[in-house]
Structure 1
Amino acid sequence: MNVPPHVANRRSVFPQFFTDRAVSRATIDTLLEAANLAPSHRKTEPWRYRVYTGKGKQTLLREMQTTYENLNGTETWTEKLANKFGKKLEQSPVVLVIFLSRDPAASVPEWEEVAAVGASVTNLWNSLADFNLGGYWSSPGFLCGDYGAYPGTPANHRCLGMFYLGYHEAPELPRPRGGWAEKVTYVG
């Protein structure tokens, strides 16, 4: 394979494989600096991240509950949901909530800004192996459906998911992919 190692080594590592080893602020900052180098049309740089560590993850769990209840009206946050998401938060030394910050001037189509946020997350994800970290991008429907409304964010912000990261002891699992040539058409 002639693919650069930082791309070939990118993989999803789920929270159940994370260790309890803390990730330093300097490492998180370096990952976010890599994320910030993503391309964006007209330099709108629409990615925004909230970083939750330590006791901040309890704040995140409450924000998730508020979002769920605001979007679902009569449905309430259940113990089952609290356990499901609480466990993932507990297992993850760091959780990033990913936002699209839509250009108020709408100088580019929204899909281009969503793609730019995806490029930003990809930069971060491709940098994890350099620190022996693993990560997983999740987009719970109640946070990200219709781009999600999130407590305490400006009207032009939309939640595009959560990124769990940490040091890990994940086994090497198969990552099957179809051949790249089957997805490409050359013209000319």
Structure 2
Amino acid sequence: MTGQRADARRNYALLLSVAERAIAEQGADASLEQIARTAQVGSGTVRRHFPTRHALLEAVFRKQVDALADRARGLEDHPDSRSALLEWLHAVLSFAATTRGLAEALNRDHVADPGETHEHCATARLTEAGDPLVRRAAADGVLTPGATITDLLNLVTGIALATERHPDAAAEANRLLRLTIAGVSPA
């Protein structure tokens, strides 16, 4: 945003604030036209700042995804690689399960057109952040051979999507993650 006119910066901040509220209430499919009307700007202004719905979702979730990435980096030196990975996965899941629209945004990252994804997309950032935890857990023999960060993020996303309408989405999502970690048929 550096180099933008003051009114463009104000419009961006206003649109982001309105979009955050709309997505929290309506999810990832919140109407871009309604966001523009609520912000009292034209739809062209929305498209100038956020050329795609994906770009808008990225901006809305950027701070939170950055915090999850920072948390992963903070866990890299944890003495127990399994605990570190599971703590981070629970944090990602708790956030995805309680932030309406995030799980859908993560899911869309996987199916977005190649030109639509970029290095700042939520899935790419979480993949980059979590990969060292996964590699360390695998090297320590505490992760199923062949399991990847992509596999684990897909599981977390699936659980968050499956529980998003549950009365206590975070608790149910964490219960399902614990079940997944323990396995449904212990040996």
TM-score (norm 2): 0.28
Q: Identify, as 1 or 2, the structure richer in strand.
A: 1
Q: Identify, as 1 or 2, the structure richer in helix.
A: 2
TM-score (norm 1): 0.28
